[in-house]
């Protein structure tokens, strides 16, 4: 398989659709050296990008937190994302908008840099092995922790915040795990390297309070689905030793969607009714036409 720089198709780059292989930046781009970039990840189902506007609104918010302004409105970004999908003849796809500081100035200060924006889209299947939907994913604990909000822009989907996620994802995979669960600076459960996490006990759903990591769009969506079912959802601090009390565990994210977890270190969970129901509810929400056909059949 060729690298992501050698694919066919087009990318929306600073207002224009250009050939995929022409979408390049200079080696001295500020974002490459100082992490001054923000991004989003969206999925399209049956030609429709799920929560498109909400994602592009968050891109703007992330940029503001990093002290720069995205030079395109949310509406313009929405249109551009749809244009990219159409130009690449995509129906089911992953869509990646991102904004970054350019190469006009090198050094920590970046007041004179131009803000660039691009949107790419490509076919991408399940983030994790689909077979894990039956038995659950196998996780370990990460060594790096999510930082104190006073030490990092934790509520921005900023590229630099994912450096420790890559390190921990690599370590987990080398040790035979699908991913790692990260604690926060206090030692509480936070999230996985690229997804939020939930637990179930006695019919109640528990999830860490998102005070030092992203309150994911899929996370909020699944909380809404759970409440529609009449299930109570409690956002709270969760210490690792409390995992022994939970019977189910699942993760949520745009890439991950809703996936069950079978184990985290020595703690084990079943793929129970609440997890399975929310997996099915989410699938029906993102593919309403298919859900309607299935219900009619």
Active-site residue set: 157
The pLDDT, as a whole number, for residue 277 is 98
Residue 60 CB-density burial (10 A; 0-12 exposed, 13-18 middle, 19+ buried)? middle
Quick: pLDDT tens for 2-59. Answer: 789 999 999 999 999 999 999 999 999 999 999 999 999 999 999 999 999 999 999 9
* DSSP per-residue codes, 165-222: HHHHHHHHHHTT-SEEEEEBTTS-EEEESSSEEEEEETTEEEEE--SSS---HHHHHH
Report, as an integer, the average pLDDT of 178-201: 98
Quick: pLDDT tens for 260-269. Answer: 999 999 999 9
Q: Would you tell me the crossing angle of helices 217-228 and 273-286 to the nearest 10 degrees? A: 110
Tokens of 135: 């038995």
pLDDT higher than threshold 60 for residue 1? no
The pLDDT, as a whole number, for residue 294 is 58
Reported pTM: 0.94
Tokens of 204: 């109640």
pLDDT higher than threshold 90 for residue 291? no
Domains 10-122 and 132-288 fall in the same CATH topology: no
The pLDDT, as a whole number, for residue 206 is 98
Confidence of residue 160 (pLDDT cuts 50, 70, 90): very high
CA 12 to CA 233: how far, in whole Å?
39
Quick: pLDDT tens for 95-106. Answer: 999 999 999 999
Contacts of 154 (CB under 8 A, 6+ apart): 146, 147, 161, 212, 213, 214
pLDDT higher than threshold 90 for residue 293? no
pLDDT higher than threshold 80 for residue 289? no
Quick: pLDDT tens for 49-82. Answer: 999 999 999 999 999 999 999 999 999 999 999 9
The verdict on domain 132-288 having CATH code 2.40.50.140 is no
Residue 67, classed as helix, strand or coil, is coil
CATH number of 10-122: 3.30.470.10
The pLDDT, as a whole number, for residue 2 is 72
Sequence spans of domains, the chain: 10-122, 132-288
For the stretch 237-240, contacts whose Cβ atoms lie closer than 8 Å and that sit 24 or more positions apart, written own/partner, are: 237/186, 237/188, 237/208, 237/209, 238/188, 238/189, 238/199, 238/206, 238/208, 239/187, 239/188, 239/189, 240/141, 240/183, 240/187, 240/189
> What value does the mean pLDDT of the chain take?
95
Residue 102, classed as helix, strand or coil, is coil
The 3 state secondary structure assigned to 9-53 is CEEEECCEEEEHHHCCCCCCCHHHHHCCEEECCEEEECCEECCHH
The pLDDT, as a whole number, for residue 176 is 97
The pLDDT, as a whole number, for residue 295 is 59
């Amino acid at each position: 398989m060729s690298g992501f720089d050698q694919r066919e198709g087009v990318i929306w780059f600073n207002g224009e659709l250009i050939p995929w292989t022409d979408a390049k930046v200079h080696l001295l781009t500020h974002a490459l050296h100082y992490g001054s970039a923000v991004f989003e990840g969206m999925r399209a189902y049956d030609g429709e990008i799920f929560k498109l506007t909400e994602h592009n609104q968050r891109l703007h918010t992330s940029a503001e937190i990093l002290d720069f302004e995205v030079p395109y409105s949310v509406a313009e970004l929405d249109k551009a994302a749809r244009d990219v999908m159409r130009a690449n003849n995509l129906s089911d796809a992953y869509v990646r908008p991102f904004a970054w500081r350019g190469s006009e100035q090198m050094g920590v200060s970046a007041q004179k840099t131009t803000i660039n924006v691009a949107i790419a889209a490509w076919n991408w299947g399940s983030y994790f092995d689909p077979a894990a939907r039956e038995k659950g994913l196998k996780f370990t604990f990460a060594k790096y922790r999510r930082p104190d909000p006073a030490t990092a822009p934790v509520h921005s989907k900023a590229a630099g915040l994912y450096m420790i996620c890559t390190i921990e994802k690599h370590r987990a995979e080398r040790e035979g795990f699908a991913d790692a669960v990260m604690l926060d600076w206090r030692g509480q459960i936070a999230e996985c390297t690229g997804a939020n996490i939930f637990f179930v006990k006695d019919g109640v759903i528990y999830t860490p309070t998102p005070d030092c990591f992203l309150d994911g769009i899929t996370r909020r969506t699944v909380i809404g689905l759970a409440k529609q079912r009449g299930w109570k959802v409690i956002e709270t601090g969760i210490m690792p030793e409390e995992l022994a009390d939970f019977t189910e565990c699942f993760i949520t994210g745009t890439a991950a969607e809703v996936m069950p977890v079978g184990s985290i270190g020595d703690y084990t969970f079943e793929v129970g009714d609440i997890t399975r129901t929310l997996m099915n509810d989410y699938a029906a929400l993102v593919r309403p036409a298919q859900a309607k056909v299935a219900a009619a059949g």
